[in-house]
Amino acid sequence: MAVEQLFAALPLHYLQHGISKFGAGNVLLAVVVTALMGILADYARMLYLRSKMPPGPLPLPIVGNTFQLPDVKPWFWFEDLSKKYKSPLITVWIGRNPTVWINDAWAANELLDKRAGIYCSRPRMLVFAELGAGQNNLVNMITVSQAQRDRFRVQRKLMHQGVGIQQVKRYRDFQNDESKVVAYDMLTAPEEYVAHFERYATSVVSIIGFGRRVGDPKDPIITEVIKVMHHAADLNVPGKTFPMLLETFPVLAKVPTEFAPWKHGLGSKKRSHRGHDFFYSLAEEANTNPGHDECYSKFLFKEKPKYNLRPQEISALAGNLFGAGSDTSSSTLITAILAMRAFPETLIPAWEELDRVVGSGRSPSFEDDADLPYIRAFVKEVFRWRSVAIIGGQPHAPVQDDYYNGWLIPKSTWVQGNVWAIHHNEKEFPDPDRFNPNRFMKDSPDARPFPGEKGYMTFGWGRRVCSGQALAEQGTWLTVARLVWGFKVEPALDKSGKPIAVDIFDYTNGLNWRPQPFKVSITPRSEEIKQTIIREGEQALADLAQFEGETKYRMSTFYQQN
């Protein structure tokens, strides 16, 4: 007989008499004892798992190591723990759940690349997925069941058809033109280089996704959408404050958002008066606009019946373009400027190579890549030196129990690659904070073995590698090459004429980090190069005119009910 049935069968007066005789205090004591026994049993489970998993600090009951996390940039702490325990993997408990942090390139390659079939899933993510972008979004999708794996393959296939390795080659013409416009804009407003980079990166993905370019740095698609991305990246850093504290106390997520300020607005399922969200509406608008039949939004609507795409999936796939290519690419270019300013000696061989191969009468093109090995190494070092996705993006999760060096990694555990530690390991990158392109030059004494052919792990691993990798690598190489070819990046001067220093460690705290604002002087290398930039920039604007257009949607007003 069930407990509730047993109690229902007892006379009411008997229950009342029994509770009165037993005493409210004793009932409370029994509840407390039962709760303590439950906590002790759960803690015993934690300690048992800890004995089998990679080493790490002792977790406390219920809260684990949450309140040991540093206030900012926890990837430094994970790196220090790896050194302390002399282990490439360490375990940190977020509440009652363990997170395995990989701090070594070879371990990351073995687990996340070579065993990609095991580490292809995502864990349950309360803040970033369930209360944020959704666990059915390609970026966050769990792939434990066959149905989930099938849907993941559909979304990944569709994303690759938008920004896959072969597809992005079709975008080279307008990506090249937008890059030329960046150099052109640098002539008139070099101090606004951050805005130029954000406009460039956003415009490229907007043309791909929606068939329209972004010509104004103050266009709301930049000022509003990138602001939201920065906010999301800041909120989702592993930490001991809300909203990430919800991962430690998930019961608090059940409180309705309007009564839960600790949720920071997460969990409210916003829809416009039309019943759809922002990116779906942008895609739908692009689908109905004439021309630009190859834009990604039209492709998605064309494939909608074949793959039974839901509006949420179209929204996520279209919106992921911005996440994969706008904020990250612009942040990488800002880092490139910081490297050029802080390590001017690295520009001398770059200028020699560019002057010899390209000259002053034209800027670098994609066809020059094979003849510019130092520029290729320079761009690789930009990716390595201060990787944007500093902890490798979203966590992986094994679909089954796995073992590494005798350590257990339980099924569905959070497994995260600490890109900072991987790219700053003295074994592979001596003097790691020095920007040194020679690390990637063939036969250079500064080169060290590293798993994989690229020499860096900036874009993640395995089946969860960043979908926009090919687009970002293609555009970053061209734009960095053009900036190095065209400009001198020198110290800005204060009011007294003294050089203003830059701090190579002064970065934001978000998951996609970028340098805090810094001042530099950016000037053309020569008058002939300046005239080339003007000529090419004006022609690029003429070529890009076909993509001019407006959208009627603004994120800031989209969800206001009519």
Binding site listing: 466
Provide the residue type at 92 as one letter.
V
Question: 407 — phi, psi (to 5°)?
Answer: -90, 140
Do 159 and 152 contact (CB within 8 A), yes or no? no
Instruction: Using the structure block, give the residue that is written with the tokens 């959070």.
Output: 414
Token digits for 52?
Answer: 């089998």
C-alpha to C-alpha distance for 367 and 65, rounded to whole angstroms:
51
Strands 407-409 and 414-417: unpaired
Kindly report the number of other CB atoms within 10 A of residue 299's CB atom: 18
Q: What's the 3-state SS for 133-166? A: HCCCCCCCCCCCCHHHHHHHHHHHHHHHHHHCCC
Phi/psi zone of residue 23: left (φ > 0), alpha (ψ -120 to 50 degrees), beta?
left
Residue of 338, 307, 441 whose CA lies nearest to 380: 441
In Å, how far are 82, 521, 549 from 487, measured between CA atoms? Answer: 41, 10, 31
Token digits for 61?
Answer: 């009951």
For 39-60, letters b (16+ CB in 10 Å) and e give eeeeeeebeebbeebbebbebe
Binding residues for heme: 466
Contacts of 384 (CB under 8 A, 6+ apart): 423, 429, 439, 440, 455, 456, 458
Q: Is the omega angle on the peptide bond into residue 238 within 30 degrees of 0, that is, cis? A: no
Q: Please tell me the chain's helix, strand, coil percentages from 3-state DSSP, rounded to the nearest 5.
A: 55, 10, 35
C-alpha to C-alpha distance for 541 and 178, rounded to whole angstroms:
8
Question: 396 — phi, psi (to 5°)?
Answer: -90, 165
CA 226, chain centre distance (Å): 13
Collapse the DSSP code of 269 into the 3-class scheme (helix H, G, I; strand E, B; otherwise coil) and give the result: coil
In Å, how far are 146, 164, 209, 287, 332 from 304, measured between CA atoms? Answer: 21, 19, 16, 12, 34
